[in-house]
Chains A and B, each alone.
Chain A
Amino acid sequence: NAGVTQTPKFRVLKTGQSMTLLCAQDMNHEYMYWYRQDPGMGLRLIHYSVGEGTTAKGEVPDGYNVSRLKKQNFLLGLESAAPSQTSVYFCASSRDPTLAYEQYFGPGTRLTVT
């Protein structure tokens, strides 16, 4: 049982390049989330999904797109990377959060945009 995994762990992009971050979970969770973590800001929600085939915007969605084609995977895309997107990205999954089930986090992806 691997929990939540993220690929890649590190990436350096040039401004304007694109990339996709992959998140996978093996706990059969319905809900999945993408956060970014910046110094002194805590974690901020980018997008989330309440089930296969669904996505929704979080607090800071601009410049990102997501897809949830399979229940176990949640992809985060950057179409045209900007230096402001330099951050650490965390994926998480959970059962129904309205019932106070905790979120399980992946190890993070450190992205640098030059």
Chain B
Amino acid sequence: AQSVTQLDSHVSVSEGTPVLLRCNYSSSYSPSLFWYVQHPNKGLQLLLKYTSAATLVKGINGFEAEFKKSETSFHLTKPSAHMSDAAEYFCVVSEANQAGTALIFGKGTTLSVSS
């Protein structure tokens, strides 16, 4: 069965410094991977997704993630944090061979950005 592990429950950065949110996955097959963001008291919004095309995926708001099959990782990065990036981030996996299966969510990483 597939699973997702977000290695940090909380990450704190200063505005203008790089962001790294780490995610490892376990999947028996070729997975589809997603990063979602949730701002306080809001629903979830898709940041980016990997679907077996390019291993470096670019998303909205300057975020990108790199799929590394050998490391079973899908870490999220941004070169320069902005105050508006403070939110909770979820790494998500979906296996393409299971029709109708919903997404499996990691437990989330809270990103704090200080000025």
Q: Enumerate chain A interface residues (CB-CB to B < 8 A).
A: 4, 31, 33, 35, 40-45, 48, 50, 56, 58, 90, 92, 96-100, 102-103, 105-108
Contacts and interface: CB of A to CB of B under 8 A. Distances in A.
Interface in B80-107: 90, 94, 96-103, 105-107
B102 A98 contact: no
B44 interface: yes
Given A4-B43, A102-B46, A105-B45, 18 more contacts: A31-B102, A40-B9, A40-B107, A42-B105, A48-B100, A48-B102, A50-B99, A97-B100, A98-B98, A98-B99, A99-B96, A100-B49, A100-B94, A100-B96, A102-B34, A105-B43, A105-B44, A108-B42
A41 B13 CA distance: 23
Interface size classification for chain B: 20 to 34
Contacts of B107: 40-42
Interface of B: 9, 32, 34, 36, 41-46, 49, 51, 90, 94, 96-103, 105-108
